[in-house]
Amino acid sequence: MSPKFLRIAVVLGLLSAIGPFAIDMYLPALPSIGQDLHAGTAAVQMSLLIFFLSMGFGQIVVGPISDMVGRKAPLYAGLALFMVGGVGSAMAPTIEWLIAFRFLQGLGASAGMAVPRAIVRDLHTGNEAAKLMSLLMLVFSVSPILAPLTGSQIIESFGWRAVFWTVTGAAALATILLATSLKETRPVEERAGSSFGTALAGYRYLMGDRNFLGLVAIAGFGIASFFVYLSSSSFILIDHYGLSPSVYSVFFSINAVAFIGMSQLTGMLADRFGLKRVVWVAVTGYATVMVALFAIMASGVDRLDVMAALLFVGYGFLGLVIPTTSVLAMEEHGEIAGTASALMGTLHFAIGALAMGVAGIFFDGTPLPMVAGITLCAVISFTLAKLTLGRARETVEAPAE
């Protein structure tokens, strides 16, 4: 693996991690934000939900723009907007102002979500793209491991507002790396003919591509299951199980380790078995584990160790789903990679935001509604995989020679 390959993965991973970093550092602060700003649980969760929504739907615009003007300019603009939103969030006097600035911050983060996937498609396809995507996710996934731990330490030492000053500094660092370590991957000649008109045509085409939509939805409901966990876990683990913010951060990070570790096997498994078989086995394993967890907890077992063990195994399977489905969905759409990446990201976050909203309605302070939401998303992902990929024996790709 060449140094250039690794450098690109690191830079793209850091750019992609800016948005999740602003989520994961923030999670341990949710209860204290509610107390400090005199806001209820629903209002505090709205500051998280609005970030997801703006980060998701902002990709609809930034993706086609990256096809028209190149990949780097939208990244610069997104990072600048993210920093404005971060400063505003740090200084927000009320929950309403916090929600408004989180909206701006999410719009800025949308560039970091959509454009790196398009850059991967600019550079590679097939198993090489899967390897780069898995490396990107390795860097990207440092966020859910380190961010909650870092966030809890910052919150305990300096208060929740310091979290937003920290993520603003991270965005400034990402801007420097973008300027010094990443070349433009969409040459001027490839931008010819790209416009908002062609983007609309591209969206219409993609919305009619059942294979693309199926693959996006498989990952979308997998991601949605994690979003359900994001929105409820801090309240359940801190308030219901009595964990401190620091211990909660460790618990949260353990699941991220499973996700990261398995995602790094994507390239090797794809070489040996093909991308479609990897997807099929992963979603089957994930759904099976989550159904088992729901059955155990629905029977009256309310134990943190049981939930932790099964979530660890389940999120390991999920780590194989995201990079493989992303590569397969983008495979045939290189000419409109920015548009395809944007629609993929928007649908992922729309599904995730919907799942978070529904889970919030049923939230009662106990883990069962959260586990039920995670399980439902996993089962839907499995069902979509069966419909999209068909029977594993009939649809599996031949292993690479």
The predicted structure's pLDDT at residue 391? 43
* Spatial separation of the C-alpha atoms in residues 78 and 68, rounded to whole Å: 16
Alpha carbon distances (Å) from 55 to 19, 137, 321: 8, 18, 21
**In this predicted model, what pLDDT tens digit does every residue of 325-354 receive, in sequence order?**
888 888 877 777 778 888 888 898 789 878
The residue type found at 25 is M
* Spatial separation of the C-alpha atoms in residues 278 and 270, rounded to whole Å: 7
The predicted structure's pLDDT at residue 395? 37
**In this predicted model, what pLDDT tens digit does every residue of 220-244 receive, in sequence order?**
999 899 888 877 887 888 888 988 8
Confidence tier at 396 by pLDDT (50, 70, 90): very low
- Tell me the whole-structure pTM to 2 decimals: 0.73
The predicted structure's pLDDT at residue 252? 74
Distance of CA 95 to the CA centre of its chain: 25
Q: Tell me what the mean pLDDT of segment 75-92 comes to.
A: 95
Is the pLDDT score of 392 beyond 80?
A: no
The residue type found at 105 is Q
What domains sit in the chain, N to C, each tagged with a CATH number? 1-193 (1.20.1250.20), 204-392 (1.20.1250.20)
Whether 311 and 304 have beta carbons less than 8 Å apart is answered as: no
